Amino acid sequence: MKCPVCNHENGDAHFCERCGSNLTQTTSSPTPVPNSKSAASEPEYTRWSSTQATSSQASVPSNTPSVSIHKEQARESTGTNDHASAGDNSSNQWNNIVQNEKVQQAKEVSKQYLSYFLSVLARPYQTVKTVGDQHSLNGWLTMALIAVLSSTYFLITFSRIGMDGLFIGGFLRPLLFTVIILIASIALMYAILKIEKITFRPKTLVAQFGTLLVPAVVSLVLANLFIIISYSIAISLLAVSYIIIFVALNSVLFQYPLNRTKAAIDSMYSVLIANVVVFFILYRLLGEIIIGLIRLMLSPFGRL
């Protein structure tokens, strides 16, 4: 048997005659030696690279869900921000549309009222015979202008005199009193027509009354302008504007066929009562103010 250590040829001995190596263990385990040597002779970087590859392959699945979760959260947050910004933009666009519509409506109403005002100013009594429910808004606008312009007249006058409580006594009170006078006039016309059992439309009644009040608006505008020039002319124009209210009340009533039925009171007396009531309300609310302005007109300072 050849010794694997020193290559000495031996017989059937169990030990080498030269080096003394155990020939029995060498022959019984020839296969493990090359395996151990191959394992020992395997390069270090090969085992490290295989270990790293195995660990990296094992770590990839564990990290993948967290990465996907972060991506989904980022997508959700981006989508939420996009929806929020889209909602804000849509609400802003809607507000702009609504505001533009209101502005356009206001422009259309002002244009219509201006054309209506100019046409009525030329022939108010003839126009009152053709107005209908569609002109009721113009009637209310005319009455609103009368209330504002009359209170503006008193405010300017009191400010020039130097009275205290200008805004309340010189603007709010005349504004409220003028509104009460106009509403009372409409209510009296409504009551008389109901007593006379005449079929009419309330909106048409307002449109007719407002149509005949258009000259009063012009008179009040001139009154506000003439305060700077002369108190006497201004107070006269103010009085004319309130006289037009009485003329309009009577003119509207006589547009209808009064005294068709045998009422308890004649139509002439019912119209007269309506005029007295309006005059009483005017005197109680604005009498003191108007009388004070007339005294100012008669003074040397008011004759400028």
How far apart, in whole angstroms, are the C-alpha atoms of residue 77 and residue 251?
Answer: 72
Q: Write out pLDDT tens, residues 60-115.
A: 444 445 545 555 555 555 555 655 566 666 767 766 776 677 777 777 777 888 88
Report CA Rg, the chain.
53
Using DSSP, state whether 10 is helix, strand or coil: coil
How many CB atoms sit inside 10 A of residue 290's CB?
18
**pLDDT for res 23:** 74
Chain-centre distance of CA 70, in angstroms? 41
CB within 8 Å of 151: residues ≥ 6 apart = 170, 171, 172, 173, 174, 175, 178
Token couple for 250: 């009577």
Average pLDDT on 192-201 reads: 88
**pLDDT for res 28:** 46
Which residue from 110, 182, 104, 113 is spatially nearest to 149, judged by alpha carbons? 182
Chain-centre distance of CA 244, in angstroms? 39
Using DSSP, state whether 185 is helix, strand or coil: helix
Inform me whether the pLDDT recorded for 40 exceeds 60: no
Mean pLDDT over all residues of the chain? 76
Supply φ then ψ for residue 201, to 5 degrees: -110, 125
Q: Write out pLDDT tens, residues 234-277.
A: 888 998 999 999 999 999 999 888 876 666 778 888 899 999 99
How far apart, in whole angstroms, are the C-alpha atoms of residue 59 and residue 9?
Answer: 56
Exposed/middle/buried for residue 29 (C-beta within 10 Å: 0-12, 13-18, 19+): exposed
DSSP assignment of 198-267:
----HHHHHHHHHHHTHHHHHHHHHHHHHTTT-HHHHHHHHHHHHHHHHHHHHHHHTTS-TT-S--SS-H
Stronger pLDDT, 25 or 225, i.e. the higher one: 225
How far apart, in whole angstroms, are the C-alpha atoms of residue 188 and residue 275?
Answer: 9
How many CB atoms sit inside 10 A of residue 39's CB?
9
How far apart, in whole angstroms, are the C-alpha atoms of residue 121 and residue 238?
Answer: 18
